[in-house]
Structure 1
Amino acid sequence: MSPSFIDRHALWTAQQHDAAERVAAQVAEQGLRQIRISWADQHGVLRGKTLEANHFRSVLRDGKDFQTATLIFDTTNNPVVPPFGANALGDPRMTGLPDGVLVPDPTTFKVLPWLKGTGWILADLHYRSGEIVPFDTRGILRDQLGKLDGDGFSYVAGVELEFYLTRLEDPCLSFADCGHPPTPPKVSAVSHGFQYLTENRGDEIGAILDVLRDNIVALGMPLATVEDEWGPGQCEVTFDPMPGLRAADTVVLLRSLIKQLSRRHGYHATFMSRPALPNAFSSGWHLHQSLTTPDGANAFAGDETDALSEIGTRFMAGLLEHARACSVLTTPTINGYKRYRPDSFAPDRVTWAEENRGALVRVAGGRGDANTHLENRVGEPAANPYLYLASQIISGRDGMANKLDPGPSADEPYLAEAPRLPASLERAVEAFRESALLRKEFGDPFVDYFALVKQHEVTRFNAAVTDWEQREYFEIY
């Protein structure tokens, strides 16, 4: 028998080979009937195929053919380039949109508790030559984690993710509603909101929260809390710290889990940052992060005089230095920029402070606290987690390498004399394109590609006539 695609191109580590044997045995022993092989696209949205169990065994050897055409879509599957143009995305290998190969990562295999006899596995997208597609965002994060490992550090992330639960009144499934984008569903509130962290508000939606929590735990995710947030039906889930790649994998599955289970039980969940619902309050993604040394020590922990070590201080300085250029990665939607408002618990400028939730970067923990870490409050819940985390590693490594200084803390972050975050996705794309550091780390093809995808959304938005314009001009003029 000839070597498998995976062996021929040496795409797995020894750990993954061992895991593949265990997965194959588990599929047989548990009598699983199908496996979902999933790939997180440029937006962090899961795409993939459902495989019969027998076919999955061959996929563990040779991967699964998959359409690279998925890479040319913006958020709602509008093509950003002519599909068959030569070198349309800056990579000649994409000409004609050939099939790629989804290579499963056996270490990510799980059995879905809400679907009978069904497994789930994450994959990376490769060309048939064995080379990873340069637009594969999971591969991008893995590359950055490898560079950090070369520096002698591991990245640890704690996730706080906010979202809205609403009752689904009408899914709007007439053919006229099924364009791209489709007509959004009609929903109603599930709880009253505006009694932050009260037990009674959380209990109003306890039935669906119980379903979500039980399935999250059943998948082995290190869930810490389920919390009632500020707006009506706004929730937050938080997790214990995880290694970088596992944290990002957890987020993509979590969002899919919450949306699928909510729909199955008559609800609609959204990770849109600022939904157009009465009394809605913006949702964010607060990313807690630190580095550990080979012996497991927290490299950010300071002493009795300084809350942060020198490494933590330099890393934080890098986050601040490149925050504007990374905005398109932390806040990739037009809607997300409507969250940056003064006194909103979301940052509007590039500042840091100790234990201050108005700053972009909060130093969480006190002097002499071994658990001191950095919380970046800039992200929106819809961000691609692989790119969000990669942006932090790139920025922090640059801060350490160049011994950057974060400057003084901002005791009043919304009044500080500090650079403003981009006010729109359009400006964020410009800052991203112009970053020499991001071009060096991601490579020109990815920077130009991702900017092209996001600019296409901006262009479509600018061409649309909004409700605001209709109200503002239709009658008076």
Structure 2
Amino acid sequence: MKDDFIARHQLWTAEQTDAAERLRSQAEGLRQVRIAWCDQHGILRGKTLEVGHFLSVLDSGKDFQTATLIFDTTNNPVTPPFRAAALGDPRMTGLPDGVLVPDPLTFRMLPWLDRTGWILSDLHYRSGERVPFDTRGVLADQLSRLAGEGFGYVSGIEMEFYLTRLDDPMLGFEDSGYPPTPPKVSAVGHGFQYLTESRGDEIEPILSILRDNLVSLGLPLATIEDEWGPGQTEFTFEPLPGAATADAAVLARTTIKQLARRNGYHATFMARPALPNAFSSGWHLHQSLSSESTGNAFAGATADELLSQTGMTFMGGLLHHALATSVLTTPTINGYKRYRPDSFAPDRIAWAEENRGAFVRVTGGRGDANTHLENRVGDPAANPYLYLASQIAAGRDGLRQKLDPGPSADEPYVSESPALPATLERAIDHFEGSALLRAEFGDPFVDYLTMIKRHEVARFNAAVTDWEQREYFEVY
């Protein structure tokens, strides 16, 4: 008997329904389809489906294990598995199967695999209700609220990462665990000749593979740039509307990691890897609001106006809620080690016009129709849906309350602006106590992510680090 779960619960728009029909008509040439979902950490999980089964999934959805929702970064359960109701949602009791609802608008052919498709999905319970811990759903809700207030969201990404040569993947059984032994790697090129053509050419073979496949996927790659560290690279993408930027980010990251591994390299989006002469990597998020009446709602109306009132108060919201949103923009312990003075990463909550040391940089020029905000705080490992959702929730509150961002900080690293959290542990306190984020994302989600991140911090605090061994083992 046919299960019409998706239609019965009206989970697709008309546009998605039409896209699904096109998929059915084109399925004959497929071997298999990877159905993926973005977990709480921004990491893609998924299943590979035979084509016939995939076609049935376009009606019924695909079962998935809600157990994945109780894991921290390296799959350590944060609560005993059959006490999952401790996450704040009684529907999680016993870790029942949920339903992956594929989004036909995200379907791609993976160019490095034979006749293999890829599609993103959303997380639902068997009742048809959205799982509140589905981060793609968190962003969808924010976009819906923003649309109700008359605006669209446009964003573009600059994402830095390291390419290294994979010397030893450390695949022994003794290397498996929570977490596994990291791979042994070596440098693929020289560093500290920022944007020099010869440095980029040293790793051109792998860069060309990455470039060709990202373009074949239809992702709006704009530039490939040599960064500071040896093998450190930045990929930038053209701006996209709504959730498309987050969808592109998760696909780009997994593509880069998979293709690097297939070709004898290791790519890492860790913010500050423990490699000699490594320079921190960041994720700069460019953003603006669109309006049917004005186009770019952030652009100043005159040649002398830096930002519109909409742009100013949206920025005021970003600054006002920067402490609370830090867990969403910088979710790793390691990411907070980027925040150093004079490092091209912000260390305090300040804004400035065309200044790369500021938390928010206003870029585009006075009177320029492309003027927008660049948030330079992001960790390259951030969950893209939560990063974007954090900006929309904070910015919307700025619009609502007409929050004043205050004067610009022409010298951000010596301004008297408040400091960003020094650690993930401090950031969690601000996140957990945020009335705004509880109102926007719901108590269950805030309590859930707080539990996940506190478990991660507790494991870190319990571990004996190399620093401690060097500091105390001999002298005491």
TM-score (norm 2): 0.99
Specify the alignment match of 1:173 in structure 2: 171
Secondary structure of 1:134's aligned partner = coil
Residues 137-166 of structure 1, C-alpha deviations (whole Å, 9 max, x = no match): 000100000000001110000100000000
Which amino acid in the other structure matches residue 181 of structure 1?
A: P
The 3 A distance-change label for structure 1 pair 242 and 409 is same
Specify the alignment match of 2:6 in structure 1: 6
Q: Distance in 2 between matches of 1:227 and 1:264?
A: 22
Q: Distance in 1 between matches of 2:382 and 2:37?
A: 15
Note the C-alpha offset of 1:304. Answer: 1.5
Specify the alignment match of 1:193 in structure 2: 191
Specify the alignment match of 1:330 in structure 2: 329
Which amino acid in the other structure matches residue 24 of structure 1?
A: R
Secondary structure of 1:325's aligned partner = helix
Q: Distance in 1 between matches of 2:282 and 2:2?
A: 50
Note the C-alpha offset of 1:95. Answer: 0.3
Say yes or no: does 1:237 pair with 2:223.
no
Note the C-alpha offset of 1:301. Answer: 0.3
The 3 A distance-change label for structure 1 pair 178 and 2 is closer
Q: Distance in 2 between matches of 1:263 and 1:3?
A: 39
Specify the alignment match of 2:369 in structure 1: 370
Specify the alignment match of 1:160 in structure 2: 158
Q: Distance in 2 between matches of 1:425 and 1:250?
A: 26
Specify the alignment match of 1:284 in structure 2: 282
TM-score (norm 1): 0.99
Residues 42, 135 of structure 1: 8 Å contact kept:
yes
Note the C-alpha offset of 1:4. Answer: 0.3
Specify the alignment match of 1:435 in structure 2: 434
Residues 348, 414 of structure 1: 8 Å contact kept:
yes
Which amino acid in the other structure matches residue 455 of structure 1?
A: R
Specify the alignment match of 2:21 in structure 1: 21
Pick from 112, 115, 118 the counterpart of residue 116 of structure 2: 118
Specify the alignment match of 2:350 in structure 1: 351
Specify the alignment match of 2:136 in structure 1: 138
Residues 20-49 of structure 1, C-alpha deviations (whole Å, 9 max, x = no match): 011112222xx1110000000000100110
Q: Distance in 2 between matches of 1:41 and 1:317?
A: 30
Residues 351, 358 of structure 2: 8 Å contact kept:
yes
Which amino acid in the other structure matches residue 74 of structure 1?
A: D
Residues 213-262 of structure 1, C-alpha deviations (whole Å, 9 max, x = no match): 00000000111001100100000000111012000000001000000000
Specify the alignment match of 1:261 in structure 2: 259
Residues 310-333 of structure 1, C-alpha deviations (whole Å, 9 max, x = no match): 000000000000001000000000
Q: Distance in 2 between matches of 1:370 and 1:117?
A: 42
Identity %: 75
Q: Distance in 2 between matches of 1:140 and 1:38?
A: 17
Note the C-alpha offset of 1:85. Answer: 1.1
Pick from 32, 36, 47 the counterpart of residue 34 of structure 2: 36
Q: Distance in 2 between matches of 1:476 and 1:239?
A: 51
Secondary structure of 1:122's aligned partner = strand
Residues 107-151 of structure 1, C-alpha deviations (whole Å, 9 max, x = no match): 000000000110000000100000000000000100000000001
Residues 68-110 of structure 1, C-alpha deviations (whole Å, 9 max, x = no match): 0000000000000010016221100000000000000000000
Residues 429-474 of structure 1, C-alpha deviations (whole Å, 9 max, x = no match): 0000010000000000000000100000000000000000000000
Which amino acid in the other structure matches residue 117 of structure 2?
A: G
Q: Distance in 1 between matches of 2:3 and 2:189?
A: 57
Specify the alignment match of 1:107 in structure 2: 105
Secondary structure of 2:83's aligned partner = coil
Residues 160, 232 of structure 2: 8 Å contact kept:
yes
Q: Distance in 2 between matches of 1:362 and 1:86?
A: 42
Q: Distance in 2 between matches of 1:414 and 1:26?
A: 55
Note the C-alpha offset of 1:306. Answer: 1.6
Specify the alignment match of 2:270 in structure 1: 272
Q: Distance in 1 between matches of 2:284 and 2:440?
A: 24
Residues 307, 365 of structure 1: 8 Å contact kept:
no
Pick from 89, 92, 101 the counterpart of residue 91 of structure 1: 89
Specify the alignment match of 1:407 in structure 2: 406
Which amino acid in the other structure matches residue 92 of structure 2?
A: M
Note the C-alpha offset of 1:199. Answer: 0.4
Residues 393-444 of structure 1, C-alpha deviations (whole Å, 9 max, x = no match): 0000000000000000001100000111000000000000010000000000
Q: Distance in 2 between matches of 1:189 and 1:249?
A: 30
RMSD over aligned CA atoms reads: 0.8
Residues 3, 60 of structure 2: 8 Å contact kept:
no
Secondary structure of 1:324's aligned partner = helix
Note the C-alpha offset of 1:296. Answer: 6.8
Pick from 226, 229, 232 the counterpart of residue 228 of structure 1: 226
Which amino acid in the other structure matches residue 303 of structure 2?
A: E
Secondary structure of 1:140's aligned partner = helix
Secondary structure of 2:285's aligned partner = strand
Structure 1: unaligned runs, 5 residues or longer = none
Residues 84, 95 of structure 2: 8 Å contact kept:
no
Pick from 71, 76, 79 the counterpart of residue 77 of structure 2: 79
Q: Structure 1 residue runs of 4+, over 2 Å off?
A: none
